[in-house]
Amino acid sequence: MKAAIYFVCLCVFSNIIVVSAILDVIVGAVAHFTDRLFQKDDLLEPFDYERLKTDLKDSLYGQHIASEVVLKAVSGFMTDKHPSKPLVLSFHGGTGVGKNHVSNIIARSIYKKGETSKHVHVFISEHHFPHKEQVGTYKFQLQQWIRGNVSSFPHSMFIFDEMDKMNPGLIDAIKPFLDHYPHVDGVSYRKAIFIFLSNDGASVINQIAFDSWMDGEERENLQMNSRGMETNIFRDVFNAKNSGFWHSTLIDAHLIDHFIPFLPLEYRHVRHCVIDQMAALNITAKDGLADRVAQELLYFPTQEKIFSVKGCKSVRQKLLLHV
């Protein structure tokens, strides 16, 4: 009798295990199908050189150097079937000059969901890495996050904002991922994109722009190598204490492909930003409104008042005061 009861219990238990295993398979299959279903619209766009060129031309003001370098660097990388390393760009310049904007333009040229794609990962130094005493933990977490995302989607993009506020040494944790290795622990990073945004180097860029203006040179004649611009940015960033790139091995090992300068914006560029915001907010163009808003921003140097202190950053807020 006891044997019969034991046999019945064993059968029931076995059936439960089988059913559970089947359910696990079904749940896994449904999860996989659902994941694929919702990810199908979050993949790569067929790269379009003309679209990227047009976006940079139509919505980026006063940044002919950045526009030209970004267009060539991104298009060259995206059309290279076998890149030897990830694309690594470093944007430098003051507040509101277009560094974040260009990052978004790049994302829109690569992913169907643009900057909102789950494959675009943005790290803000003071938000994601606030505590100096936890740099060791942040290094490990950062490596794990990048490794996990690139292993599942090789064309992932990583944007590091506020590099000038990042704890020194932290960013060196990702050095192996930026190098020329075909694989690191079984993962290839060669199709990934890394973009660094920093205010470091702004003083160098602003001084060169001002000297050029004082010498009567056309702004559009400034290039990456004008007056030693890229070299001086490189040095300024590398020696900026309490900054994310201070004596960084990423710079020492020449893993950053381009240090791209973003010039300070002049009145005419700010005015274009005002007009764009008017269109975005469906504000009817009133007589002289764009000029009135642009004139309310602060400009430097104190006497000449050539360049906007905050670029286009406060344009929207200033405009709303006139609505």
CATH label of the domain that carries residue 95? 3.40.50.12190
Q: Annotation-wise, does 81 bind a ligand?
A: no
Query: To which H or E segment does residue 158 belong?
Result: strand 157-161
Coil vs helix vs strand at 178: helix
The verdict on whether residue 93 carries a ligand-binding annotation is: yes
The token duo for 291 is 């000029």
pLDDT score of 40: 55
Residues 315, 277: contact at Cβ < 8 Å?
A: yes
CA 124 → CA 138, 144, 273, 316, distances in Å?
Answer: 13, 17, 25, 22
15 in a labelled binding site: no
Tally the domains of the chain. 2
Write the pLDDT tens digit of every residue in 126-143. Answer: 999 999 999 999 999 999
Residue linked to tokens 């642009």: 294
Q: Are 146 and 185 in contact (CB under 8 A)?
A: no
CB 61 within 8 A of CB 245: no
Are residues 191 and 112 part of one domain? yes
pLDDT of residue 256: 98
In-domain check, residue 38: no
Reported residue count of the chain is: 323
C-alpha–C-alpha distance, residues 179 and 16, integer Å: 51
- Is the domain of 176 the same as that of 103? yes
Query: Cα(first)–Cα(last) distance of the chain, in Å?
Result: 89
* Distance of alpha carbon 211 from the chain centroid: 30
249 labeled part of a ligand binding site: no
97 is in an annotated binding site: yes
58 and 166 belong to one structural domain = yes
Last residue of a domain, one of 227, 261, 295: 261
- Determine if residue 270 is labeled as part of a ligand binding site: no
Domain annotation covers residue 29: no
Q: Helical H runs in 40-79?
A: 49-59, 64-78
For the chain, list residues with pLDDT below 70. Answer: 1-41
pLDDT confidence of residue 74:
98
**Average per-residue pLDDT for the chain:** 89
**Are 93 and 187 in the same domain?**
yes
Indicate if 169 and 293 belong to the same structural domain: no
Q: Which two tokens stand for residue 94?
A: 């003051």
Q: Which domain holds residue 201?
A: 49-261
**Token pair for residue 126?**
């003071």
